[in-house]
Amino acid sequence: MIYLLRWSVFLWIVNSVPFTSGMTVTERIDHACPSIKLEEKWYTSLSIHKEFTGFDLAEKFLLRKGTVTENRPLFRLGSKPLYKPTELVFPNGLSHEFSIIATFRLRKNMKRDRWFVVQVFDKNGDSQVSLIVDGAKKSVEFLAQGILNNSLLYVFKNRDLQALFDRQFHKLGVSVESNAVSVYLDCKLIERQVTAERAGLNLSGRIFIITRVDNVLPVDIELQEILMLCDARIAELDRCCDSPEVTCEPIVTHKPTAAPLITGYFHRMLSLPAQQPTDRCHCPALKVK
C-alpha cells in the first residue's frame, strides 16, 4: 500500500505540468548538441583532442555549489524533487549515442538505497532512459525504451562495481551506443552488454536527476558533477585526469615527418652485389625409355 501511494505521488509529479509537444528528436530539423564548457582538466583527460558537446545537468538544474571537498565544490541538492521538462534541458534533442558521467560519493545511509542518476520519462510517465544505482544489489542498471515501446533493461553486477559503494569519491561512466551499453568505474571498463534497438527520445516528458526510486526526493550523496555528453566514446576515452589523485601529461600531437629514402639496414641491403636467382625446385630426373 505504501509503495502504491508513493508511486501515485510520483506519477502526479510527472504529469502535474502540461506537456508542450509530442515531437521526438528524429522529427526535429536541428538536433545537434551544443558546445559545453568543462573543467580545465577535462581537456587533458581524453586520449584524443576533442571539442566537447553535451549538457551539464548540474548547470541545467541550477544546482548551487556548496562545500569544497578534494579541491572541487559539491552541489547542493536540496529537499525538493529535481525535475524539469525534457525540452528545457535538451532544447534541440539528445544524440542517439551519448555518455553519462557522474562523480559522487555515497553517504553511510545511502549504501543500500536504490536511486536514479538520470531518469527521462515520456508524457505518459513511461521511462525512456534511466540509469539506476542499487546499493542493496551492488549493481548498476540501464533501462531504455525499445522501438516497439518495450522496456529494455540491462543489469551490471560485476564484482569490480562494489567499490562504488565504499563511501569514497568515484566516477561512474556509461557509454550508450546504438547497439551496446558499457559501464566504467574510475575510467576502467567494468562490463559491456549488447543491446536491442532503442527508440528515439521523446522530448514531451520530464527528466529527473539524483532521485530516490521510492519517493522521488533528492538522494543524500556528495555530488561533484553530472554530465550527458553527446559522444558514446567519452566514457571509454576518459583518463580521469580531473580526479585529485590522478596526474595526466598533456596530450601532444606530433606532425608526421617524411621518412628518409634509404637508411640503416635497408641501405646495406641495396649495397650488396646482385645475386642470380637459383632454381629451388628439386624435381626428380625423368627416365626416358
Structure letter (DSSP) for residue 245 = T
Structure letter (DSSP) for residue 286 = P
Q: What is the pLDDT of residue 18?
A: 44
pLDDT confidence band for 60 (50 / 70 / 90):
very high
Q: Roughly how many angstroms between the first and final C-alpha of the chain, as a whole number?
A: 106
pLDDT tens-digit readout, 149-179: 899 999 999 999 999 999 899 999 999 999 9
The pTM of this model reads 0.76
Q: Is pLDDT of 256 > 60?
A: no
pLDDT tens-digit readout, 191-217: 999 999 999 999 999 999 999 998 889
CATH class of 2-237: mainly beta
Q: Is pLDDT of 265 > 60?
A: no
In whole angstroms, give the CA distance from residue 112 to residue 104. Answer: 15
State the cell numbers at 28: 526535429
- Coil vs helix vs strand at 277: coil
For 195-272, where are the E strands, in sequence order? 206-212, 221-229
